[in-house]
Chains A and B, each alone.
Chain A
């Protein structure tokens, strides 16, 4: 069956040949996919550029900590920056060379942000030294923690775009935790137009991907595994089917081609018909998703002992001579990639990292590729609106509430209402319309006949709400601080007064004691002495209360304010 499919790839036949019920998510769009541009040639190594610029923060979580300094010689695979926290990931030297610079360098970011990078002047030898890790011979029988440690050591993060440290995710999903994973989903949907790196990876290295899958299976022991691939990649489907033919628990599923089927929650809905709770994780449904590229890196780390030093990147668009997929060392400048692909054409007007729906434009090609880079799209401004070039310069018109955006939103939001409220800066209303659930997929902007950049508004709205919350918390904090300060002033004053009173009383007592007729001194002083004693005791208690309240203040502001009020009421009594 596989052979016949690979010779005659008909998309509907692909889906009909499997008897599994698939579901639909709401909305979605069919932009021109342009996959053929770049998926015709096998993956090639992009070569070693003269200079690698390796940012030390390429993942979600805490920035890794540098362990090398300028002038150091590094070998391939040597640690440059180590994992610094529970959620963080290690960074390695992608090839051998000398560290020539450590400091701020621009990274792929729409506004040309800079970040700490280690620049390696490569020596071209690509020498591992003894930094290659020992391959794990028999992963199926290997120790659970050995595998997990290796994945962590290798600095593997989610290569589908989320760049979340994979070891942390696997640890959360593995058997040793209470959440039982029923199905492992391998995400090969690759729904973004132009991008074909996963497609090509599945065609060229299917057996290795399957080995990676088996490692994950050993770790999290799912009942079965589904590899989901959009049916516009018949070759990849055939290759993966051939590679998994012997494994009854791994199934390759052709899913309909529609953007954004590769979104984690959307893919889960397609395969299971279930919705991941808003703000929740797939684990709650007994599911875990892993990207094809990530799975391949896991294979490399376990079987070859190689950390995550390179990834597959699609270099495509009409701004480049020969679009193709490359295996690229992390830190390679985009300009080097462009050279490898035959150089720029006249139409290279935009550089987009990622796809045209969710990627972002980069102002300069001197920035490095990072673990999250799946595509370098060099493209002309007109071809971005190629379906209707006559209107490429048409200005944004007002919203006519046609509802097209609502019809395509995979999250079932009301973009037209969100837009209205955000324009009016009514963020509360925007929250009422569940702005937080927007996944920035861009379907709404894509179909809008008024060409309104809806997603921009939503990003703005989200960041504004975040800022407001932070500001609110800050205001809360400073109010509490202020209240505490006032309380302390008053308390100090009172304590001082009491001390003074006690002192006075003590003096008087001394005086009384110093009197010659001390025989009746005890008796006469008794009421006074009682008062003094009581005052001293009170002062002591207060001191204690003060240190306590200060300690708890350091811990949490809320409890402190409580103790404050308590102390206040006590004092009042």
Chain B
């Protein structure tokens, strides 16, 4: 009798890429819901619109590149990218801005580099970076959160919001938007105001229950813990990122509490938590060795602080991540774990062996 032949191992565990990606989507839910609570349906619309654009562009790119549609769509990676990207957008941005961002994320950052698995840069962050550089005004219009007295997201109906996004209608930005705490603190400190005074002057930084950013941070931490528990991500990157950011900001805060923001502020504002657990941990573009992940995470934390405090942009997750994406191949090469039966060596004992072989 004749038999089919294959190569070992003949077994495969039940894991698939989409089961991994699905966990990421699940983990994003609490954070997204919290943001929706504060900012209304606009957040949800952003997510949906981004996903629709991303999936359409993904299909387009796959057809052009003559790749099979089903396996590559069912891996869910485009949806993860779109969702993460959407969470960095302020509510009520016009649709074409979203489209430009998604286009850069999916087409330029992902497919032009060879598609899933081959992108050296984090696609969602490429999309965000393009927008913040090209449309700084639109990208900084965060509307008033729920707890703010006066016009807020909740004062618009769904149709009205859709009108803002897709129609010519423009909201009276000045009336309904405000500076984010990061903006506020940055401008305040730059102007020479004490950190304490800035906080006092800020309408919604004083009270804990009103602090949108603290609550959403907590929700994203919950998602992050889920990912850790499900072993989708490892502890190294978030720990190193938050640790470094916390440490540097603590040093400056202790050194001069008036002119530098507190570590708690840095960790809970902007996209820090989202970045630490969901963005910097994107496996494709992050470092892959255990020690490499520590270095990678720590460096991102370092750059976040530098750019936030001395740079021109209020938040810095995107740029810090993109900068470190470039360093990944080098980090990975020099942080190989010690291989079984090898002596500890500063880097790659395999390379030493190879060179010895050549000599003899």
Within 8 A of B (CB), among A345-359: 348-352, 354, 356-359
Indicate whether A475 reaches chain B with its CB closer than 8 angstroms.
no
Given contacts A26-B340, A412-B338, contact A356 B117 (CB under 8 A): no
Determine which of A31, A344, A384, A413 lies in contact with B1 in the assembled complex, contact meaning CB atoms within 8 Å.
A344
- For B286, what are the chain A residues with a Cβ–Cβ distance below 8 Å? 401
Indicate whether B192 reaches chain A with its CB closer than 8 angstroms.
no
- For A413, what are the chain B residues with a Cβ–Cβ distance below 8 Å? 339
Of listed B12, B350, B353, residue having the most chain A CB within 10 A? B12
A-B pair count, CB < 8 Å, reads 196
Contact between A431 and B332, CB atoms less than 8 A apart = no
Contact between A265 and B341, CB atoms less than 8 A apart = yes
Q: Which chain A residue shows the least CB distance to B118?
A: A398
Q: Which chain B residue shows the least CB distance to A445?
A: B9
- For B353, what are the chain A residues with a Cβ–Cβ distance below 8 Å? 278, 431, 434, 436
Interface string of A366-393 (1 = CB under 8 A from B): 0000000000000101001101100100
Interface size of A as a range: 35 or more
Contact between B14 and A387, CB atoms less than 8 A apart = yes
Interface string of A429-450 (1 = CB under 8 A from B): 0011111110000100111111
Chain B nearest CB: distance from A367 CB in Å?
11
Contact between B348 and A433, CB atoms less than 8 A apart = yes
Given contacts A362-B3, A391-B16, A447-B15, contact A432 B348 (CB under 8 A): yes
Q: Measured between alpha carbons, how far is A348 from B5 in the docked complex, in Å?
A: 12
Contact between A445 and B71, CB atoms less than 8 A apart = no
Chain A nearest CB: distance from B337 CB in Å?
5
Indicate whether A414 reaches chain B with its CB closer than 8 angstroms.
yes
Determine which of A25, A277, A348, A357 lies in contact with B8 in the assembled complex, contact meaning CB atoms within 8 Å.
A357
Chain A nearest CB: distance from B165 CB in Å?
32
Determine which of B5, B288, B349 lies in contact with A434 in the assembled complex, contact meaning CB atoms within 8 Å.
B349
- For B1, what are the chain A residues with a Cβ–Cβ distance below 8 Å? 335, 344, 348, 364-365
Determine which of B6, B8, B75, B283 lies in contact with A397 in the assembled complex, contact meaning CB atoms within 8 Å.
B75
Contact between A398 and B9, CB atoms less than 8 A apart = no
Count how many chain B residues have C-beta atoms less than 8 Å from C-beta atoms of the other chain: 50
Looking at A84-92, A402-410, A563-571, the stretch in contact with chain B turns out to be A402-410
- For A217, what are the chain B residues with a Cβ–Cβ distance below 8 Å? none
Within 8 A of B (CB), among A330-344: 335, 344
Looking at chain A's contact residues, is the secondary structure mostly helix, strand, loop, or mixed?
Answer: loop
Q: Measured between alpha carbons, how far is A296 from B87 in the docked complex, in Å?
A: 66
Q: Which chain B residue shows the least CB distance to A441?
A: B9
Indicate whether B56 reaches chain A with its CB closer than 8 angstroms.
no
- For A403, what are the chain B residues with a Cβ–Cβ distance below 8 Å? 234, 283, 288
Chain B nearest CB: distance from A512 CB in Å?
60
Q: Measured between alpha carbons, how far is A350 from B9 in the docked complex, in Å?
A: 13
Q: Measured between alpha carbons, how far is A379 from B350 in the docked complex, in Å?
A: 39
Contact between B3 and A411, CB atoms less than 8 A apart = no
Indicate whether A360 reaches chain B with its CB closer than 8 angstroms.
yes
Chain B nearest CB: distance from A276 CB in Å?
6
- For B354, what are the chain A residues with a Cβ–Cβ distance below 8 Å? 428, 431-432
Chain A nearest CB: distance from B140 CB in Å?
33
Of listed B68, B116, B117, residue having the most chain A CB within 10 A? B117
Q: Measured between alpha carbons, how far is A402 from B282 in the docked complex, in Å?
A: 9
Q: Measured between alpha carbons, how far is A404 from B13 in the docked complex, in Å?
A: 11
- For A397, what are the chain B residues with a Cβ–Cβ distance below 8 Å? 17, 71-72, 75, 116-117
Contact between A278 and B283, CB atoms less than 8 A apart = no
Q: Measured between alpha carbons, how far is A431 from B349 in the docked complex, in Å?
A: 10
Contact between A402 and B8, CB atoms less than 8 A apart = no
Indicate whether B306 reaches chain A with its CB closer than 8 angstroms.
no
Given contacts A417-B288, A417-B332, contact A384 B10 (CB under 8 A): yes
Q: Give 11 pairs: A residue, B residue, CB < 8 Å, sorted on A.
A: A26-B340, A356-B8, A363-B2, A363-B3, A365-B3, A400-B284, A401-B283, A436-B353, A442-B8, A442-B9, A450-B17
Sample of 11 further A-B pairs with CB below 8 A, known A361-B7, A397-B116, A400-B283:
A278-B340, A350-B4, A361-B3, A398-B116, A402-B20, A431-B354, A432-B351, A433-B348, A434-B349, A446-B9, A455-B9
Residues of A within 8 A of B (CB): 25-26, 29, 31-32, 110, 193, 265, 269, 275-280, 335, 344, 348-352, 354, 356-365, 379, 381, 384-385, 387-388, 391, 394-395, 397-404, 406, 410-414, 416-417, 428, 431-437, 442, 445-451, 453, 455-456, 459
> Top 4 nearest A-B pairs by Cβ distance?
A398-B117, A442-B9, A434-B350, A278-B341
